[in-house]
Amino acid sequence: MTPGTARTKPAGRRGGAVPRLAVRGARLVATLAVTLLGLLFVTFLIGRVVPVDPVLAVVGDRASQSTYDAAYIELGLDKPLYQQFWIFLKNALTGDLGTSILTKKPIVEDIKRVFPATLELATAGILIGTVFGIPLGVLAAVRQGGIADQMIRVFGLIGYSAPIFWLGLLGLLVFYAKLDWVAGPGRIDISYEYSITPATGLLLLDSAMQGQWDAFRNVLAHLALPALLLGYFSMAYISRMTRSFMLNELAQEYIITARVKGVSETRIIWVHALGNAAVPLVTVVALSYAGLLEGSVLTETVFAWPGLGQYLTNSLQNADMNAVLGGTLVIGIIFVGLNLLSDLLYNLLDPRVRRRK
């Protein structure tokens, strides 16, 4: 944003920046800790009241009583609830989230394996959603009530309300099966599966860093459709919110002031109005991103995408509480982290805060 633009919003109270920052920081950390603790506690309780026997997931339906009893004790289910929770917490603080009863591996290792798939997909999705969502939202606001506005709103409404599962299958049918523009379900073709050494788990990055360009293209071809689908879904939301923020800004007095001063319309829209609308938009984009990072269960199912969503659903269905708690913790951290980030950006973008600097 350029300095000296016409902003006529009241400034906040001034105060000693450093001590106040320290206090705010401490308060923030405390809030985060309490939020995560509460989240874990509620998840733990829900996991324990769900009418599902976790021992069954370990030993199956046919095991003898002695097998069943041994697994019951091994899972620590013979201990009182508060003790089970305390053991979980203590271990979690040392970075040990326990072992998954389904994959038989440490949860941390499992999450390390599935999260990059979701991160790659969600990042591609949010980029597409933001790059298209914001201009379309601006256009709809500027042309309020016109044809463009109506079309964008309908386009957004479809993206927002069509079942993603159905859209995914339709997309596969058209772009993969019929047109052959993109690759099918999965992250990579089997033939390239072992040509990339997993480093970050983000296959695009790994293949690019290793100069495996054929594999890179293959990964991109697999990523394209699910990313476009998720992008469309988040674009629908982002464009709707952009439109409403922009309408709000365009009705403000400072816009009229700017017009009177002879500032060009382009500048008014893209710099003044969008500049101010960007502040709440950051939160919208961050929350959309967080939503995508949870792993979109249906998208991951249709596209056989081995991500967090699929992992968590499977864990939930099998009462694999350690995995559910671990996954919830990761999602909690993402949410809290992105909230924090959007707060920081909010402060950075908000002229009242900037002016204090």
Q: Which residue from 5, 67, 123, 210 is in contact with other proteins, where contact means CB under 8 A?
A: 67
> Binding segment for other proteins among 40-48, 88-96, 180-188, 332-340 (CB under 8 A)?
180-188
83 binds other proteins (CB under 8 A): no
Closest contact distance (angstroms) between CB of 271 and other proteins is: 14
User: CA–CA separation, 167 vs 303, rounded Å?
Assistant: 11
Residues between 233 and 292 that touch other proteins (CB under 8 A): 235, 265-266
User: CA–CA separation, 41 vs 294, rounded Å?
Assistant: 19
- 129's tokens: 């959603």
> Binding segment for other proteins among 8-16, 285-293, 304-312, 331-339 (CB under 8 A)?
304-312
User: CA–CA separation, 354 vs 357, rounded Å?
Assistant: 5
Nearer to other proteins, 102 or 250 (CB): 102
192 binds other proteins (CB under 8 A): yes
**Residue window 1-40: x/- pattern of binding to other proteins, with contact defined by CB under 8 A:** ----------------------------------------
Q: Which residue from 130, 207, 296, 310 is in contact with other proteins, where contact means CB under 8 A?
A: 310
Q: Are 198 and 109 in contact (CB under 8 A)?
A: no
170 binds other proteins (CB under 8 A): no
CA separation (Å) from 191 to 48, 215, 220?
Answer: 43, 9, 15
Closest contact distance (angstroms) between CB of 128 and other proteins is: 8
Contacts 24+ apart (CB under 8 A), 345-353: 345/282, 345/286, 346/279, 346/282, 346/283, 349/1, 349/275, 349/278, 349/279, 349/282, 350/279, 351/1, 351/7, 351/9, 352/9, 352/10, 352/11, 352/12, 353/12
User: Which DSSP category does 200 fall into?
Assistant: S
Q: Which residue from 185, 201, 275, 280 is in contact with other proteins, where contact means CB under 8 A?
A: 185
Site residue total, other proteins (CB under 8 A) = 75
Nearer to other proteins, 208 or 340 (CB): 208
b/e sequence 70-101, b meaning 16+ C-beta within 10 Å: ebbeebeeeeeeeebbeebeeebeeeebbbbb
Residues between 91 and 130 that touch other proteins (CB under 8 A): 101-105, 110, 113-114
- 208's tokens: 């690019």
50 binds other proteins (CB under 8 A): yes
> Binding segment for other proteins among 79-87, 90-98, 247-255, 297-305 (CB under 8 A)?
297-305
User: CA–CA separation, 44 vs 87, rounded Å?
Assistant: 12
Nearer to other proteins, 48 or 113 (CB): 113
> Binding segment for other proteins among 13-21, 35-43, 47-55, 280-288 (CB under 8 A)?
47-55
* Alpha carbon 341 to chain centroid, angstroms: 13
User: CA–CA separation, 115 vs 202, rounded Å?
Assistant: 9
Closest contact distance (angstroms) between CB of 344 and other proteins is: 29
Nearer to other proteins, 230 or 336 (CB): 230
